Chains A and B, each alone.
Chain A
Amino acid sequence: MTNKYDYLNQDSKPNTVSKKLSMIIHHEEIQRLSIIIQEIMEEKSSQDNTIKG
């Protein structure tokens, strides 16, 4: 998986939301959190592309 969510650390090591939270992802709350983060990042990416376009 790519560094999709690591938008604040442009030069940092490859990492993902799911990797850091993978050991607690069995909690339903963390699954919800991960989905929300993913949605926000996709929304942000879409807005950035619109601005660039």
Chain B
Amino acid sequence: MADVHEYINKGIELPAAPTIITQLTSLLNKEDIGSHELAEVAQTDQAFTAKILKLVNSPFYGFSREVYSVEEAITMIGLEAVHHLLLTMSFLNIFKTDKNIFNINEFWLHSLSVGIIAKELIKNETKEIKNAAYLSGILHDVGRLIYYQVDPKKYAAFYDHGASVIDLEKETKWFQLNHQQIGSLLGEKWNFPNNIVSTIKFHHSPDEYKGNDIILVHAVHIGDIISHGLNIGNSGITYVTKFSKISWNALQLTDTMIKNVIKSSIYKIEHIKEVIFDNSDHS
């Protein structure tokens, strides 16, 4: 069985980045993106088309007539909801797991929620930074998925040994790299921008980060804690053990702001999760 270094260095079965992610990221960072441009990208994949139409015709929106056009759907439900849907879906089928050991849908639900909350936490930042926060949130724990891919039995044994807390040193002892480090290596392999790679690498330890993209690291760190507080999905841990006051203070979180962030995030997560995970259980 390969170890994580071999896995990364030799690229053993390391999945390729879905091409749609690059297309979506550059498209959505544009200031004047139109619904027809996004529709063109979405329609390259039948599954995406089907999900967008399912979302727009869901009871959540309650439109009085059925919508058959992707472009019209995007106009009606908005670019942001479609962005969240497509980006999350593009990662769903890359990794396969035995759900008795690793519940992949719960994992992605947690990741989706961290992306949405992180984005809400930095509402006044540029569109590019907010989109990077969303993608960083989606990928922040992907290192844990790599552990599973390398050795499912070892992954299961790790958690059977009570590793249900964030313990980066213990992860390093078992797997040579902690999940932040291995996740950031995957980000590099996928040629993601440095700000996303750094956010994956420091999301549990923002106080150690010395670069320029600290706001993203803060947003994902606090977004992760809020998601755990709300019990949305499951990233594999039972207890959160790390909290950075520096991140909390940097985001200037007042009670009113936290309330608004949570309410807005819940709204966005609830209406999209049923469509994304409609063929699966969450148990």
Which A residues are closer than 8 A to B by beta carbons? Answer: 5-6, 8-12, 15-17, 19-24, 27, 29-30, 32-34, 36-37, 39-40, 44
Size category of the B interface is: 35 or more
Bitwise interface map of B from 217 to 229 toward A, beta carbon under 8 Å scored 1, else 0? 0000000011011
Which B residues are closer than 8 A to A by beta carbons? Answer: 106, 109, 113, 165, 225-226, 228-234, 237-243, 245, 248, 253, 255, 258-259, 262-263, 266, 269-270, 273, 281-283
Q: How far apart sit A16 and B231, CA to CA, in the bound complex (Å)?
A: 7
The majority secondary structure among interface residues of chain A is helix
- Shortest beta-carbon contacts, A-B, top 5: A24-B243, A11-B283, A6-B231, A20-B228, A23-B239
Q: How far apart sit A4 and B226, CA to CA, in the bound complex (Å)?
A: 16
Q: A6-B231, A21-B228, A37-B230 are in contact. Are A12 and B245 (CB under 8 A)?
A: no
Contacts of A20 in B (CB 8 A): 228-229, 231, 237-240
Determine if B255 and A36 form an interchain contact, defined as CB atoms under 8 angstroms apart: yes
Q: How far apart sit A27 and B226, CA to CA, in the bound complex (Å)?
A: 14
Q: How far apart sit A27 and B237, CA to CA, in the bound complex (Å)?
A: 20
B243 CB contact (under 8 Å) in A17, A30, A36:
A30
